[in-house]
A and B are shown apart, each in its own frame.
Chain A
Amino acid sequence: MSRGERRNLWLGLAFASPWIIGFLVFTLYPVLASVYYSFCDYDVLSKPLWVGTLNYRDMVTDSVFWQSLYNTLYYTALSLPLCLIVALLVAVLLNQSVKGRSAFRTIYFLPSLIPVVASCMVWLWILNGNLGLLNIALSWFHIKGPQWLADEKWTKSSLILMAVWASGNTMVIYLAALQDVPRSLYESAEIDGANAWVKFRHITIPMISPVIYFNLIMGIIASLQTFAQAYIMFSGGALGGGGVAFRAGGPNRSALLYALYLYQCAFDFHQMGYACAMAWTLFLVILFLTWVATRSTRRLIYYGGE
């Protein structure tokens, strides 16, 4: 190494040092410790006790674990496609030459801007089974609305509804991508007599496919880790007995999402080892689904340069 190279190495390391230290302390160490804890019985107060694969074996027989996994997959399988499609639809409509486009864009974006705690408060009120706005509105059409938050058949739908309402972020990303699609493509298609659907299917979709893929992957990662909504909507408040910890997750644990159960295990039941094992399992589920999504869409994604 020459003197200049050595100087550059030290300079580079010095500039990168905030990240390097952060990586060592806040990522590498916790990741390694998390692996270790996942093989331990650990309640924070006493030292971790090595128990081998017991936590992982416990998970197989823990029905609550399976239920929370089911709830989360169910929630993701419905909310993610719905969000992606609704956001794309809105973005395509807003990409037309409409009057007040920026006003519409702001309005559609607003819900995703509201702090999740604040929006949960409004939804708690709107989805109230007896006096909530939604059920009153449904009654105008002679539909008797369900007990959205108290009926185990509807709790997950409530969360999905909220997710779709707040999908404006995704819409803005789509919109930016749509604006980059060259006009000339549409114009030459029009000369060939292509209708709106053909243009959408054969120009719009392929041209923005990398962004659809990006939203899909980000959506999988975020959706599987959904926590705050489930915690706030279904932690039960001060009414009723038994302590918050044992009532979290809504009626019959129907809204007990994976991240919520994981949080409970760690901080309500003080089973840190079990929580770490659950976290690694979640990581594997995320990796697996990302891999599946990547594999199944690989042929469909069009990157301009290739």
Chain B
Amino acid sequence: MRPLKRLLLYLVLVLGAIVCLTPLLWMISTGLKPVEQTMTVPPTWIPYRLYAEKNGVRTEIKPADVDKYPDAEIVKRFAPRWSNFGEAIRAMKFFPMYLKNTLILCVLTVIGTVASSALAAYGFSRIQWRGRDKLFVVALATMMVPFPVTMVPLYCLFRWLGWIGTLKPLWVGSFFAAAYNVFLLRQFFMTIPKDLSEAARIDGCSELRIFWQIILPLCKPALMVVGLFQFMYTWNDFIGPLIYLTNQQDFTLALGLQFFQSQQGGTEWHYLMAASALVALPIILLFFFTQKTFIEGISLTGLKG
């Protein structure tokens, strides 16, 4: 590639990267500022404190009071307000409960999804039975049904069971394999040679043991992908908690954050951004620790098309 073209390529990439990152940096920056620095023109990117220095004595001053110290030297120092995070948590009232609920749901849905999808995928791939492939076509067809179609009857069903206002509607379903995950794992299970199961069967190994001791260990990466995506889904899910949860103490982080925003009506941006960063941070950390699984997983979902 010619140098000019290369330069252009990098220029476009860097500009795009700036566009991608700016909102995230702005979230963090605002989350670390005192409230009076959140609404300045031009915008303040780096939270600061002002000091008046005179005869070696430094006193903190407010930006409005700068004129009161005509003979002092005004010093600007980088000063992130970490206390915003604690204050935001307190302002949200039930933040620890939100976190607890979210974690309970994440753990339960990850266990439920991985266990049930693996079992079902095994049944759909490693055992030959009459009607299997026809039933699997039905499973694929269910992926077409959009959520709004089943939304109302599911709500009525859970209401009839007395589960509205509890976490149950948000995790019980995950123990009954969703077709999408079954499909993903089935693709994976089918790549394992048949002879492996046959040999084990001849040795008198039970089907459950073949599943547990031979197939599952070979499919760890795929199970990781399914579990990881389920964790993300549960953490981020908004409409589910919105429909089923009624008491503030039962909210998840996602719903709790939105509730906090709707209550304070858009004035205390520093708290709102600090709280948003707290909700986003675990997902970002999770991504950095599992990056490889992550990218592979997304590629996997795309390439089956």
Contacts and interface: CB of A to CB of B under 8 A. Distances in A.
Say whether A associates with B.
Answer: yes
Interface of A: 1, 5, 8-9, 11-23, 25-27, 29-31, 33-34, 37, 44, 90, 93-94, 96, 98, 104-111, 113-126, 128, 131, 133, 136, 165, 168-169, 172-177, 180, 210-211, 213-215, 217-218, 221, 224-225, 227-228, 231-232, 235-239, 244, 259, 262-263, 266-267, 272, 275-276, 278-280, 282-283, 286-287
Given A115-B254, A238-B262, A238-B263, A110 B127 contact: no
A121 B273 contact: yes
A126 B23 contact: yes
A15 B131 CA distance: 14
Nearest to A149: B266
Which of the listed residues A44, A110, A115 has the most CB atoms from chain B within 10 Å of its own CB?
A115
A26 B23 contact: no
B196 interface: no
B148 A259 contact: yes
B242 to A, nearest CB: 8
Which of the listed residues A27, A29, A34, A93 has the most CB atoms from chain B within 10 Å of its own CB?
A27
B13 A225 contact: no
Binding site of B, secondary structure by majority: helix, strand, loop or mixed? helix
Given A18-B117, A31-B149, 17 more contacts: A12-B127, A18-B175, A19-B116, A109-B295, A110-B21, A119-B23, A121-B275, A136-B42, A165-B23, A172-B302, A173-B299, A176-B303, A227-B238, A228-B238, A228-B239, A280-B149, A283-B145
B257 interface: yes
Contact of B302 (A94, A105, A214, A286): A214
A22 B176 contact: yes
Contacts of B12: 93
B287 interface: yes
Contact of A237 (B9, B26, B242, B266): B266
Interface in B14-67: 16-17, 19-24, 26-27, 30, 39, 41-43
30 contacts: A15-B119, A15-B120, A15-B122, A15-B124, A15-B211, A16-B132, A22-B176, A93-B13, A108-B20, A110-B24, A111-B23, A114-B280, A115-B283, A116-B238, A117-B276, A118-B280, A121-B261, A133-B43, A136-B42, A165-B23, A173-B299, A173-B302, A175-B299, A176-B299, A176-B302, A215-B302, A217-B305, A237-B265, A238-B263, A266-B152
Given A115-B279, A239-B265, A282 B146 contact: yes
B217 to A, nearest CB: 17
Return the 8 tightest CB-CB contacts between A and B, nearest first.
Answer: A22-B176, A214-B305, A15-B123, A173-B302, A176-B299, A12-B129, A16-B123, A30-B150
Interface string B166-180: 000000010111110
Contact of B152 (A20, A37, A113, A286): A37
Interface stretch (B71-79, B153-161, B218-226): B153-161
Interface string B259-275: 00111111001001101
Contacts of B10: 98
Contact of B157 (A30, A239, A275): A30
Nearest to B287: A113
A121 B257 CA distance: 9
Given A37-B153, A136-B41, A238 B177 contact: no
Given A110-B284, A113-B283, A121-B261, A9 B129 contact: yes
B interface, size bucket:
35 or more
Nearest to A125: B269
Interface in B100-153: 115-117, 119-120, 122-124, 127-132, 135, 138-139, 142, 144-153
Contacts of A14: 123
Contacts of B144: 287
Contacts of B147: 225
Contact of A117 (B20, B129, B145, B257): B257
A27 B142 contact: yes
A105 B159 CA distance: 44
Contacts of A133: 22, 26, 43
A182 to B, nearest CB: 15
Contacts of B155: 44, 266-267
A244 B132 CA distance: 49
A8 B272 contact: no
Contacts of A225: 146-148
Contacts of A113: 283-284, 287
Contacts of B117: 18-19
B293 interface: no
